[in-house]
Amino acid sequence: MLAQFAVHLVWAMAVAVVVAYLLGRRRTEFLAVARWGYVLLSVGVAAIWLGLLVAALTHDFRFTYVWGHSSRQLPLLLLVSSSYAGQEGSLVLWSFGLAVIGLLVRTHARRYGWEAEVMVPFAGVIAGMLLLLVAKNPFTFVWETYAEQGIAEGFLPADGRGLNPLLHNYWIAVHPPTLFTGFALMTVPYAIAIAGLWRRQYQRWVLLALPWLGIATAILGLGIMLGGLWAYETLGWGGFWAWDPVENSSLVPWLFGVAALHTLLIQRRTGGLVRTNVLLVTLAFLSVLYSTFLTRSGVLGDTSVHSFVDPGFFAYVLLLGLMGVSVGGSALILARRWRDLGKGVLVLPAHSRELMLALGALGLVVSAVVVLIGTSYPIIAELLGRPKVAVEQRFYNLLHVPIGAWILLLNGLSLLFQWRATPGRLFWQRLWIPLAISVVGAAMLWGAGIQDGALVGLGATAWFVLAVNGRILLQRFRQRPQTIGIWLAHAGIALLVLGTVCVGTLSWTVHARLPQNEPVRVGAYQLTYLGRERIEQQYTDREKWRYAVRVEYDGREATVFPVLFWSDYNQRQAAFLEPGVRWRLMADLYMAPKAVETENGAVQFLLRRGEDTVLPGDAYRVRLLRFETGQARADTLTLAVWVELRSMDGATDTLRLPAQMLTLEHFLPQWHLYRDSLEVALLRIIPERLDIARSQAVLGVRQRGVREREVFTVEFSLKPGINLVWLGSLLTAVGLFWMGLQRLRRTARGSIRDGQSPVVQSPTAARAE
């Protein structure tokens, strides 16, 4: 009760801080109150998270959240992670991230006397998040959640339901916190933009926002990439990106953010694009909210592989309301300043870096809009009253080949051009080496087997970017190594695209059935299923098996270990499957488990009632006489068929072949020894849906003494270039972060003009300021 009330209290504190900062704009005594209030607010938010953490660590299953997301058997790391693995918990973590970031932003903004204007929208966002927590309180008790079950107050369940086995790995510890920090950071440039409009300082905000935008895109990008790694390495989706709504909706803010990063640079140099910049930074923030709405309201439930829950009507309306307030507030202040903002004249000379940057940023915006429309298409269609519809993955792939090529091409060009104007000779002089490299690179891709003109073209632009940025990178590295961030990030994107092209076209997948200890050859690889081993036996809530498969190729060998995981979480009804991956520099070996069967060494026959067939060896005919539906005992059901065996010399025998049905799929056959040489059994029954009398029996016949063996069915693939994807995304994140940090340090020194590149303003833009 106390804890629930604390959430309300902290929310009230957030509202009070907003009001205090609002008043503090005019009167300094309120500013002092606001500052202390914000510190208290941060402590409060931290306390909520700590409270949830302690509840998880001490197994306080009175709380529905803790009961629903953890259990006594969870190890420490997963217990900690369970504090943010669910909806409410992730909102808590997000708010906590916001509160901490706010402390840093506040210090930064105070240097420029912008504190109040920045902190009003920022604390407003925190208040919004906390309002969601008030609606979906993480400290709700089980007897409140399940009131209709008449649970006594104070009831402490013996154990929790546990954490989804899909989340049982170290990725849960790193991916969500990174992603939520990225989401939280996107609030900063937005708050600074609003402050800039408020203060009518349409140029200055750009300098304050740039470093934060760099850091935000770095962390968000890293979070997205970690999600891809998770999907690839443990979830066994086979790839790292599936254009799923959840993935998409985290990508859209990143794309808007990166577009804004480039257009902010234009404004810093030329003073133009003022409206565009405010708009883009706002969109980056709003798309974070929209993403939250899409992924938590359940509106896209049918079109995603992620699981959604209906958060309840109140939270749904609240999310819509929060979005409405942000959109409305931003639109209002934008509208009031719109004409003011347009006073700067944008000059984009033909042979200039600013034009190339603007066109490139246009590509990024197009990409963001494409992903946004694709993801929202089911909703858009529904709002338009059209039949329910969704786009296929092909939609995104199709469009992103030309969009990607456009963005990369302009990135390369923008760096060959200079600001304002570029002498033609200089441009051509700079162009030919990268051009040559991209032609050679494209030829290499073609030679490697990518026989798709469009993709080779995309690859060529990636080589172009690599060449242009690589050259600057080397130069800079010798002269001013602290400034290499941006070029590192560009090179990273180029590597990411090259890797994606390679994985998308050069990887191959084969389906293989692997009987134990019997080598199976697929292409140049020989696979041998060696056996399985029970792991993690210290836990009683699961049965986890590690399958060992030896892979031999080119005289080398490696062993991969796919895992099958039965958990109490779903009453062990079905296994959770984890792939076995052998990391290699050029191409990973990737093995996703599909099925495990016991093969009985028998020949199988499908027979309907009255049908007959000749057994191998031509010695007997077998006819299915009838089905006998069974006696259920305990939880097993015994079924049987009656068959007639007729030898070629005319002698006939009638046999009853029983089998225990364990599950629909799993039968336990009883082998019947016939005439000391054959073994016959009923293996399965395939029911006929329309006419149950026409069901089929699967019979097995084998020679006496044949041993049973296990067959492990897998999907084996080779993933060339996958490491370029990881390396590229990592470089991008590191580069962006480094750039952001450098700019932050420079602007934090107090001089808003960052040393090497003073603001160049056109006379008209200066007037607007």
Partner 1 sequence: MVELVKDYAMRVRPRYWLGGLVLIGFVVLGISALEQTSVQYVSIAEALRTGKRVQIKGTWVREMEPVYDTRANVFRFVLQDERGDRISVVYAGAKPNNFELAESVVVRGSAVGGEFQAVQILTKCPSKYEGSAPGPQ
Q: What is the footprint of partner 1 within residues 425-484 (CB under 8 A)? A: none
Q: Return the number of the residue (554 or 665) whose C-beta is nearest partner 1.
A: 665
Q: Return the number of the residue (107 or 570) whose C-beta is nearest partner 1.
A: 570
Give me the least distance between CB of 145 and partner 1, in Å please: 8
- Provide CB contacts within 8 A for 711, sequence distance 6+: 513, 514, 515, 516, 529, 596, 597, 598, 599
Q: Return the number of the residue (67 or 232) whose C-beta is nearest partner 1.
A: 67
Give me the least distance between CB of 590 and partner 1, in Å please: 15
Q: Which member of 70, 411, 422, 600 binds partner 1 (CB under 8 A)?
A: 422
- Pick left, alpha or beta for residue 10 (phi over 0 → left; psi -120 to 50 → alpha; otherwise beta): alpha
Q: Which member of 107, 307, 613, 757 binds partner 1 (CB under 8 A)?
A: 307
Q: Return the number of the residue (303 or 559) whose C-beta is nearest partner 1.
A: 303
Stretch that binds partner 1, among 355-363, 610-618, 635-643, 722-730 (CB under 8 A): 355-363
Site string for partner 1, 358-377 (x = CB under 8 A): xx--xx--x---x--xx--x
Q: Return the number of the residue (332 or 389) whose C-beta is nearest partner 1.
A: 389
Give me the least distance between CB of 309 and partner 1, in Å please: 4
Q: Return the number of the residue (347 or 535) whose C-beta is nearest partner 1.
A: 347
Q: State the first-to-last Cα distance of the chain, in angstroms, to the nearest integer.
A: 52
Asked if residue 601 binds partner 1 (CB under 8 A), the reply is no
Stretch that binds partner 1, among 47-55, 259-267, 323-331, 344-352 (CB under 8 A): 344-352
- Provide CB contacts within 8 A for 409, sequence distance 6+: 461, 464
Task: In whole angstroms, give the CA distance from residue 74 to residue 540.
Answer: 11
# residues near partner 1 by CB under 8 A: 79
Residue 452's identity, in one-letter code, is: D
> Dihedrals φ, ψ of 720, to 5°?
-75, 135
Residues 650-669 that bind partner 1 (CB under 8 A): 664-665
Q: Return the number of the residue (36 or 155) whose C-beta is nearest partner 1.
A: 155
Whose CA is closest to 685, among 627, 645, 642? 627
Asked if residue 349 binds partner 1 (CB under 8 A), the reply is yes
Residues 483-542 that bind partner 1 (CB under 8 A): 511, 513
Residue 262's identity, in one-letter code, is: H
Q: Return the number of the residue (300 or 736) whose C-beta is nearest partner 1.
A: 300
Contact 614, 583 (CB under 8 A): no
Q: Return the number of the residue (470 or 630) whose C-beta is nearest partner 1.
A: 630
Q: Return the number of the residue (116 or 142) whose C-beta is nearest partner 1.
A: 142
Q: Which member of 239, 301, 470, 658 binds partner 1 (CB under 8 A)?
A: 301
Q: Which helix (H) or strand (E) holds 661?
A: strand 652-661
Whose CA is closest to 598, among 700, 709, 517, 515? 709
Task: In whole angstroms, give the CA distance from residue 107 to residue 301.
Answer: 42
Token representation of residue 138: 């993480």
Site string for partner 1, 378-397 (x = CB under 8 A): ---------xxxxxx-xx--
Give me the least distance between CB of 337 and partner 1, in Å please: 22
Residues 138-197 that bind partner 1 (CB under 8 A): 142, 145-146, 149, 151, 155, 157, 161, 164
Whose CA is closest to 488, among 721, 729, 269? 729
Q: What angle do CA 506, 507, 510 make, to 5 degrees?
A: 135
Residue with tokens 């953890």: 70
Give me the least distance between CB of 270 and partner 1, in Å please: 11
Q: Return the number of the residue (298 or 329) whose C-beta is nearest partner 1.
A: 298
- Provide CB contacts within 8 A for 465, sequence distance 6+: 408, 411, 412, 490, 491, 493, 494
Q: Return the number of the residue (585 or 664) whose C-beta is nearest partner 1.
A: 664
Residues 666-725 that bind partner 1 (CB under 8 A): 684-687, 689, 711, 713, 715
Q: Which member of 421, 436, 444, 632 binds partner 1 (CB under 8 A)?
A: 421
Q: Which member of 54, 325, 398, 706 binds partner 1 (CB under 8 A)?
A: 398
Give me the least distance between CB of 61 and partner 1, in Å please: 7
Task: In whole angstroms, give the CA distance from residue 84 to residue 178.
Answer: 12
Give me the least distance between CB of 7 and partner 1, in Å please: 19
Give me the least distance between CB of 298 and partner 1, in Å please: 8
Give me the least distance between CB of 101 and partner 1, in Å please: 28
Task: In whole angstroms, give the CA distance from residue 41 to residue 9.
Answer: 10
Give me the least distance between CB of 476 and partner 1, in Å please: 24
Task: In whole angstroms, give the CA distance from residue 350 to residue 334.
Answer: 30
Residues 44-103 that bind partner 1 (CB under 8 A): 61, 67-68, 86-87
Alpha helix locations (H) across 25-153? 28-57, 64-69, 76-85, 87-110, 115-135, 142-145
Stretch that binds partner 1, among 193-201, 284-292, 414-422, 748-756 (CB under 8 A): 414-422
Residue with tokens 């895109």: 217
User: Which residues, listed in sequence order, are joined to residue 719 by a DSSP beta bridge?
Assistant: 588
Cα–Cα separations (whole angstroms), residue 378 to 303, 364, 383, 386: 8, 23, 9, 9
Q: Give the distance between the most distant pair of CA atoms in the chain.
A: 111
Give me the least distance between CB of 191 and partner 1, in Å please: 29
Site string for partner 1, 561-580 (x = CB under 8 A): --------xx--xx-xx---
Give me the least distance between CB of 27 and partner 1, in Å please: 45
Q: Going edge to edge, which strands form the sheet with 603-607?
A: 603-607, 696-703, 678-686, 672-674
Token representation of residue 267: 């404004």
Whose CA is closest to 186, among 286, 326, 96, 334? 286
Asked if residue 595 binds partner 1 (CB under 8 A), the reply is yes
Q: Return the number of the residue (39 or 399) whose C-beta is nearest partner 1.
A: 399
Token representation of residue 383: 């709002």
Site string for partner 1, 130-149 (x = CB under 8 A): ------------x--xx--x
Q: Return the number of the residue (346 or 445) whose C-beta is nearest partner 1.
A: 346
Task: In whole angstroms, give the CA distance from residue 558 to residue 571.
Answer: 34
Contact 621, 645 (CB under 8 A): yes
